[in-house]
Chain A
Amino acid sequence: MNTALELKNVSKSFGLVKANKNINLAVEAGSIHGIIGENGAGKSTLMNIIYGMHRADSGEIHFGGQHVDVRSSADAIEHGIGMVHQHFMLVPTFTVLENVMLGTEGGLMLRDGRGAALERLLHLSETYNLKVDPHALVSDLNVGQRQRVEIIKALKGGAKVLILDEPTGVLTPQEADQLFEILKVLRDDGVSVLLITHKLSEIMDITDTVSIMRQGEMVGHRKTSETSPQELAELMVGREVLLEVDRKPAKPGEVRFSAKNLGYTNAQGVVELEDINFEVRSGEILGVAGVSGNGQTQLMETLAGMRHLTSGSLNILGTEVTAADQTDPRIIRDLGVGHIPEDRHTHGLVLNFEARENMILGFQDTGLAGDGKLFDYTAIQKNCEDKMAHYDVRPPNPRLNAKNFSGGNQQKIVIAREFSANPGVLLVGQPTRGVDVGAIEFIHKQLLELRDAGCAILLVSVELDEIMSLSDRIMVLCDGQNVGIIDSAKADRQTLGLMMAGQRQEAAA
């Protein structure tokens, strides 16, 4: 066996938290190796150790059978490690070539380095089918193309091991397929690919071997051909999980929420939403699919009153809202709309506030904060304790600051707050982003319960699986426009993928 990378008993602690405990890992040369685990399982820490951004407290790293001391990412690059981060690290105002050159300009004047870099870039893009125009500005590229630039950057130094951290989160299914094709070419050329993901389907589709992490430990190594999604999920969570959502057919009632020719143009005059029409009935979930950045955020924030719609109108539980009404989130909330924001850290929570204060955020003017002029902390505490118990927030400590909860439990605080208000209409954005498998199961169940209780739910998510398994109907956004609304029973990944790329479907439900 030819091992490209081997870790022996690697451990890393942050203060009292053991992020990695005695990790052993062997990656064969010329293979695609998946690393899977819940959020906080220690995947990113481990990759940062390999890439030299953290130093291990103990343990050894071997590259190509040779023990090396990785002190910085420069060391790692020298030993043939390349990494594509989850968040791209490109300068948008530079061309592709300039971005690739970054860090290896070579000498005082740019001219010499540029020629060499261009040659290398063209060579790489030809060898691995990484099609991209060297002279295009990065800001003009789409997400898939930007990712290719990142891969070229990682490979330019002759990387033998390529680490990809959650690479498909921002891609359409078709773009993801193209990425996987590129990875296969790389593998056949002898490069080892380390693929970090929490999507079981990707692991099954593309990897040769897979390692599973849980709470800082390696809990198993499998050959992909000899395992199943069910086994992987159980290893990740440490108990049996329900992968499929048990969704009964919807019983839609009256229309509770509708948009007519809705448009939103931002302060710079850029049209971000155009001519959006939909209606959501009591007892149904309307999913909104699309590659992220195609107007989902603007749609959610416009519906929630955080931005002012600039054309068209909304009908919220019988109240007409037009561009002339300068709405704000307070007015919309008072009409009976709950809102789980897409980004809980930016909008849903005040991280430096205690849990009990977050549990009344948005409801500070209601009886939840006490009946009198002053805050009633006994009532606020009681409110938080009750909701924490009901929604299984852990640890159930109302005095703990929101920032000290795990991602899943932070989300549960937001969900507990919004669901308990018993909204007639609920806007849900990315309900399970950064949430672990166990909590996902719980959140999905709660959403369906609310639907069956008669709530009209609009669900935005970048996880196509989530949209498909929860929604009764699916609206697809592309470039701020509604491409079509289809019945989820008739939707498959292929159709949705084409719609996400902007192809209109004749068969609208």
Chain B
Amino acid sequence: MSTPTPPLPRWADLILLPIINLFAAFFICGLIVLAIGENPIEALGVMIKGAFVYSGGLGYTLFYTTNYIFTGLAVALAFHCMMFNIGGEGQALIGGLGAALASFGLGVYLPAPLAIPLAVLGAFIAGGIWGVIPGYLQAKRGSHIVITTIMFNFLAASLMVYLLAGPMLEAGQQSPQTARLAESTLLPKMADMLRPLGINITSSPLNASFLIALGAMAVFYVLVWHTRLGFNIRSVGQNQEAAHYAGINVARTIIITMAISGGFAGLLATNEILGFNHKVVLNFTAGYGFTGIAVALMGRNHPIGIFLAALLFGALTQGGGELDFEFQSITREMVLLIQGMIILFSGALAYMFNPPLARMIAKFVAPKDPANG
């Protein structure tokens, strides 16, 4: 047996360690950029400028960030209940269906202040339904949530192809997509919202959904740490036996958790569909549901952490586009490589730097009596 290392101080665990992991990921990517004959420092500069500095860059970055926040929260909430929700992708797709149905069905008859909340709710409920079925199967039938949520991604994708190519296809349209949604259900662009306030920003896809994402973060925080339901969710997640002993209905808690988790993923449609595409297109989720797992992992299942991780991934998505544009030999796939490295270092190898760092800090910080007696 190896000697256990001293625990890492909280500040180092939350701030220093992620930065080191990030640095390591960028370092390896830098070497690869060097190997294909480009200057890594220059490439990094282009990415940062593309994500934050160039006109509209920040808007795009935050637009992508919004998507990552929703799917990150979805994965994190389920994880607090120790459920691995791999189904964010499918739940988001069905969320798009829910938003569209609400828009076509009710939105056309209502003014924006009523129609928008209904469409948002439609996305949340539809995503929730797609999450609650695997939740029910896990809680009552013992079907493993990882398997069922993956399967439900395929089901959602097939269902959407069928609907978009058939019943919901816009008349006279060749590509599989719906007609434009009811105007009253579309979310305003951020640039349009800020202009009356005298703030002028470059127009970008960034829209009111970003505010919904910030609201979802707040709801997540209060739900998990300040409500009885959140206490139940965390109890079930940490120790199902103790939760049962404490009178918590374990099955019901799992089902509710998966409903809300799916709902968070479904909200992605508010950004992509209600805020940007304004119609349901094929595969609008583009892998955000899967990346949400990495976002939650990196963000330590806490809304602030998830925001920072989502911002990082949003910046990578946007900045990576610029890389492709600026360099001949670097393609968009480089971004996938960087994302992969970040996931590798902050996820799979999360504790690689932990022991040496802890030993180093323990040397510098004067030894105190351990908290336990």
Which residues from chain A sit less than 8 Å from chain B, CB to CB? Answer: 13-17, 48, 53-54, 304, 306, 328-331, 333, 339, 341, 346-353, 357, 361-362, 364-365, 369, 373-375, 377, 394-395, 397, 400, 404-406, 409
Contacts and interface: CB of A to CB of B under 8 A. Distances in A.
A349 B372 CA distance: 17
Contacts of B202: none
Interface in B239-277: 239, 241-249
Contacts of B114: none
A373 B226 CA distance: 9
Given A15-B6, A353-B238, A357-B231, A404 B246 contact: no
B53 interface: no
Nearest to B223: A374
Given A362-B245, A373-B227, A17 B370 contact: yes
16 contacts: A15-B4, A16-B368, A306-B245, A346-B242, A347-B241, A349-B242, A350-B238, A350-B243, A351-B239, A364-B232, A364-B248, A365-B228, A375-B226, A400-B372, A405-B372, A406-B373
B373 A16 contact: no
Contacts of A16: 6, 362, 367-370
Contacts of B246: 329, 361-362, 364
Contacts of B6: 15-16
Nearest to A400: B371
A365 B369 CA distance: 36
Contacts of B369: 16
A377 B241 CA distance: 25
A331 B247 CA distance: 8
B222 interface: yes
A54 B235 contact: no
Given A14-B4, A54-B1, A405-B372, A364 B245 contact: no
A373 B228 CA distance: 8
B228 A375 contact: yes
Interface of B: 1, 3-7, 222, 225-228, 231-232, 234-235, 238-239, 241-249, 362, 367-373
Nearest to A17: B370
A14 B247 contact: no
Contacts of A48: 1
Contacts of B249: 328, 330
Given A375-B227, A409-B373, A14 B3 contact: yes
B326 to A, nearest CB: 47
A395 B371 contact: yes
B222 A347 contact: no
Given A328-B247, A329-B247, A347-B242, A353 B227 contact: no
B371 A397 contact: yes
Nearest to B3: A14
A364 B235 CA distance: 11
Contact of A346 (B227, B241, B370, B371): B241
A15 B373 contact: no
Contacts of A15: 3-7, 362, 370
B373 A374 contact: no
A56 B95 CA distance: 59
B244 A374 contact: no
Nearest to A13: B3
B247 A333 contact: yes
A329 B245 CA distance: 6
A394 B373 contact: yes
B228 A364 contact: yes
Of the listed residues B4, B241, B368, B370, the one surrounded by the most CB atoms of chain A closer than 10 A to its CB is B241
Nearest to B373: A394
Contacts of B248: 330, 364
